[in-house]
Structure 1
Amino acid sequence: MGTTVITSIHEDVATVTLNRPEASNAVNGALRADLTEALRALNRSGAVRAIVLTGQGRSFCAGQDLREAAAMQVHEVAAWQADQRAMYQSLRDLDKPCVAAINGAAAGAGWQLALCADIRVAHPAVKVGQPEVKAGIASIVGSYLMTLHLGLSKNIELSLGGDLIGAEQAHALGVIQHLVDEAEVLPRARAIARALAALPPTAFRLTKQHFREMTQAGFDAACAAGARYQAECYAAGEPQRVLAARLKGNR
């Protein structure tokens, strides 16, 4: 396993930390592979009964790595989307409790990771949302995942506009369940994870399995649509143009 994800285990709770702080923990190929591998291994481990997902530094996960996305070629989109799907599915497939400790911004792919967790904990300064359209990338999987938590009207507003919202608003909407002081995000997430881990494991696993079964067909359809639509976006050249300009402006 690489260094883009750090796993530590205390008692029977594993903390999985996204470890690209210099890039605000943005998702690139290495992080996708490392996170998928780490989550699958933890799901198999008899020593782990719950998982907490968080980010190193000031961000939870800023989303897709801009340099990787800007350099993407049309013929690479299908493999990229398949790897993204595998990463999200590794979270969805967890039989054990998974709590997202959102220590900083969670945007795009980062917000989608958080939405795949069972419980989300954040502090008031956190911003979350789906800004893909502003980067020339269609919001497909993210908009589907938000449909599981939000009404359609609010989802349309956020997905089409691409604006991030504050954690207080997300909490009021119910998509972030626990809002705490910044220093308490990780401790609260671990406490929730321990409490869930103490529940009868078979009943817990089967309840999670039923939620997954209820939503799997929609998730699969969204991932398939995402692969088609992102290929169309890249064929039109919009992500390349928008992201190249953004990267140039950040120099």
Structure 2
Amino acid sequence: MKDFILSEVRGPVGILTLNRPDKLNAWNAPMRSRLIEALEELEANKAVRAIILTGAGDRAFGAGQDLNETKTFDADRAEEWMGEWERLYDRLRSLSKPIIAALNGVAAGSAFQVSLLCDLRIGHDGVTMGQPEINSGIASVTGPWIMREMIGIARTIDLTLTGRMMDAEECFRIGLINRIVAKEKVMEAALALATELAAKPPVAMRLNKARFREVTEESFRECLKAGIRNQREAYATGEPARMMEEFLAKRAARKTA
């Protein structure tokens, strides 16, 4: 099977790369599962003290969910799908080591959410970020929870209901991107920051990260319960499948025009 996650170690830094560049690194079940395994491997590697997560190619960190997978879901599969996200998000949240998102292009939907679950984000002027799930008929639950914790309810409502994408300047201004560098310098800057964090006292780092998790744990679990409820209701109506088919058809028409 194609390795959807590439993993390497450079000194004290582990680098994970989402590796479906032909699909703009869109998520499917094998990719989610392999990312969990790769994170666990780096968490267990005592030589690794910091992690970088990035996307293959120069167009996208990640385009979000692969709609060719979710367009076939029924209510039961939608509930299983939420469980897959819970495992991935829980693994990200429980890391004892700092993780940096090196953003290269678009970060949309669940890829946007994963980037926000990283501790810090480095991007370039061409980065766009947002929560466009409503445009393909997907109800948003985990995305609004993550955004609200970081940017407040007013901006969260805006981004969730409009589905609009933000440019890098807006993301930086509201604190979602921590540093903006030249496109060709993103990985270099991420490695420099990861190396700096890797040199910090590891016990203090672990305890700080554990505390951030503790203060958000109750609301995280509540949002997952709501996610199961909402996704079951949405997929039972058939609306997501219809909207995804329409979205994919329009995209295909643009490519052939």
TM-score interval, smaller chain: over 0.9
The whole-number CA distance in structure 1 between the counterparts of 2:160 and 2:40 is 30
User: 2-side partners of 1:201 and 1:47: how far apart?
Assistant: 12
Q: Which residue of structure 2 aligns with residue 12 of structure 1?
A: 12
Give 1:232's aligned residue: 233
1:24 is displaced (CA, Å) by 0.4
> Does the 8 Å contact 1:2/1:30 carry over to 2?
no
CA-atom RMSD in angstroms: 1.1
Q: Distance in 1 between matches of 2:174 and 2:63?
A: 21
Query: How far, CA to CA, are the matches of 2:107 and 2:140 in structure 1?
Result: 15
Alignment partner of 1:95 is 2:110: no
Shift of 1:249: 2.5
Query: What corresponds to 2:36 in structure 1?
Result: 36
TM-score normalised according to structure 1 size: 0.97
Counterpart Cα distance in 2 of 1:248 and 1:153: 33
Q: Following the alignment from structure 1 to structure 2, what is the Cα–Cα distance between the partners of residues 222 and 89?
A: 13
Q: Find the residue that maps to 1:95 and give its secondary structure.
A: coil
Partner of 1:204: 205
Partner of 2:255: none
Deviation at 1:20, TM superposition (A): 0.4
Partner of 1:139: 140
Amino acid of the structure 2 residue aligned with 1:114:
S
Separation in 1, partners of 2:161, 2:247: 20
Give the match's secondary structure for 1:85.
helix
Q: Which SS does the other structure have where 1:25 is aligned? A: coil
For 1:143, the aligned partner's letter is: P
Q: CA deviation at 1:107?
A: 0.4
1:123 aligns with 2:124: yes
- Which residues of structure 2 form unaligned runs of 5+? 253-257
Distance 1:223 1:160 in 2: 19
Determine the structure 2 residue equivalent to 1:194.
195
Structure 2 counterpart SS, 1:125: coil
Compare 215-224 and 109-118 and name the one that shifted more: 215-224
Q: What is the percent sequence identity of the aligned residues?
A: 41
User: C-alpha displacement at 1:248, in angstroms?
Assistant: 2.1
Cα distance in 2 between the residues matched to 1:197 and 1:10: 12
Question: Could you give the per-residue CA deviations for residues 37-86 of structure 1, whole angstroms, max 9, x where no partner exists?
Answer: 11111111112111000000121010000100111122211111100111
Distance 2:202 2:67 in 1: 40
Distance 2:179 2:19 in 1: 24
Q: Deviations over 1:71-117 (max 9, x none)?
A: 11222111111001111111111100100001110000100110110
Unaligned 5+ segments in structure 1 are: none
Which one-letter code corresponds to 2:198 in the other structure? A
Kindly indicate whether residue 166 of structure 2 is the aligned counterpart of residue 180 of structure 1. no
C-alpha separation in 1, matches of 2:100 and 2:125: 17
Letter in 1 for 2:200: L
SS at match of 1:42: helix
Question: 2:222 corresponds to which letter in structure 1?
Answer: A
User: Match of 1:111, SS?
Assistant: helix
Whole-Å separation in 2 of the counterparts to 1:135 and 1:250:
11
Deviation of 1:250 after TM superposition, in Å, equals 2.9
Distance 2:143 2:2 in 1: 26
- 2:186 maps to 1:160: no
Amino acid of the residue matched to residue 35 of structure 2? Answer: L
Aligned AA for 2:34? D
- Equivalent AA in structure 2 for residue 128 of structure 1: M
SS of residue matched to 2:14: strand
- Aligned equivalents of 1:116 and 1:29: distance in 2? 19
Q: Which amino acid aligns with 2:122?
A: V
Instruction: Calculate the TM-score normalised by the size of structure 2.
Output: 0.95
> What SS is found at the alignment partner of 1:60?
strand
The amino acid across from 2:16 in the alignment is V
Q: Which runs of at least 4 in structure 1 moved beyond 3 Å after TM superposition? A: none
